[in-house]
Structure 1
Amino acid sequence: MNWTLNELKRNCREPFKIAEVIDAASIVKAKNGNVISVSPANVNGFFLLDQLGVFGNFKIEATVILPSTRSLKPVKVPLNFGVNEYYVDAAEHDLSRFEQTDVVVQLKDGLLDLAEVVADNLLIHLPSRILTAEEENGNWPLPKGKDWQLLEEG
């Protein structure tokens, strides 16, 4: 699903509701080679034009399969998070009207591609520590070799 900023500005005076299933797997895998697979993402929310610009508020749910950071075995990682972002044209350089805590996405050519938005947010929410259930429960020996051994902090 793609929209130009001008389309969104015309159509989002009232909340423009979104309830879509977005397949962003190819984008996610192209940007992060460690990702084994990504389920289609359920995206629910809305876009709205306010005094600052086009505001997106939605929830993303998907399952990503990543290698364990310990054994490299595949691990299903369910993701479920909210997104609150403003969208502006990349040519706009004065962003002083936004708070430091606002997430502002500058869109190349003024085009909002929902698959790209979903992919970028999935990538941001990937955990840095991924363990299988056995590894999490301590039922998996830590790797070791000649003159070295993996130790956990704490």
Structure 2
Amino acid sequence: MKWSTNEITKKKSIDFDETLELSESLSQRSSEILNATPIHVFGQISYDNGLYLLDYQLDTVLTLPSSRSLKPVEYPMTSFVNESFASPEFLNSSTDLLDSDLIIPLDKDLISLDESVEDNILLEIPLQVLSDEEKEISELPAGQHWTVLSEDDYQAKQVEKKEEKKSPFADLDGLFD
């Protein structure tokens, strides 16, 4: 869905309630996104003294790989978005606004809801995604000659190593390696 800046300026405010199918384009932009349900987006775009204000809420369910097992995990996402756009001419005449707020300069006379939704979904992808089972199990993955440690376990092992090295011969450890 796109709006021309002329249309927004004339109407002053446009309400919308749309369902967008962006699964394929999200997957192309990020390999982390395996799938996305249709995205329900509702809000409004308005014009106010040279600024185009886009306010909306998006709701979707992303399928992302688990941080531990790489198995697909469904991750429900709800996000509230407030963006401000302005023409380059307006920004040149109002440099104080550009310095104080995050205003997106328009390179065309169009504002695309699809692009905004995609960008904001990509920004909201969490670093750690775990299935319900993985959240409940405190045991981390391990293999032959390797194991994943939590930060607490790692710190405890570091303390143990320091205590072991208090012997008088600890400085000779690794001398002939």
TM over 0.5: yes
Residue 37 in structure 1 maps to residue 35 in structure 2 = yes
User: CA-to-partner distance for each residue in 1:1-34, whole Å, 9 max, x for gaps?
Assistant: 111222222222xx31111111122221111012
SS of residue paired to 1:3: strand
* Mapped partners of 1:115, 1:4: distance in 2: 14
TM-score (structure 1 length as normaliser): 0.86
Please, which runs of 5 or more residues in structure 2 have no aligned partner?
A: 153-177
User: What corresponds to 2:9 in structure 1?
Assistant: 9
RMSD: 2.0
Of the three residues 25, 28, 31, the one matched with 2:23 is: 25
Greater relative contact order, per chain length (Cα 8 Å cut-off, separation 6+)? 1
Contact 1:59 1:81 in 2 (8 A): yes
Provide the C-alpha distance between the structure 1 equivalents of 2:148 and 2:85, rounded to a whole number of angstroms. 44
Deviation at 1:47, TM superposition (A): 1.0
Tell me if 1:62 matches 2:67: no
User: Unmatched 5+ residue regions in structure 1?
Assistant: none
> Quick one: percent identity of the two aligned structures?
27
Identify the residue that residue 85 of structure 1 maps to in structure 2: 83
Runs of 4 or more, structure 1, over 4 Å off, are 90-93
Using a 3 Å threshold, how does the CA distance of structure 1 residues 33 and 148 change in structure 2: closer, same or farther? Answer: same
SS at match of 2:74: strand
8 A contact 2:50–2:90 mirrored in 1: no
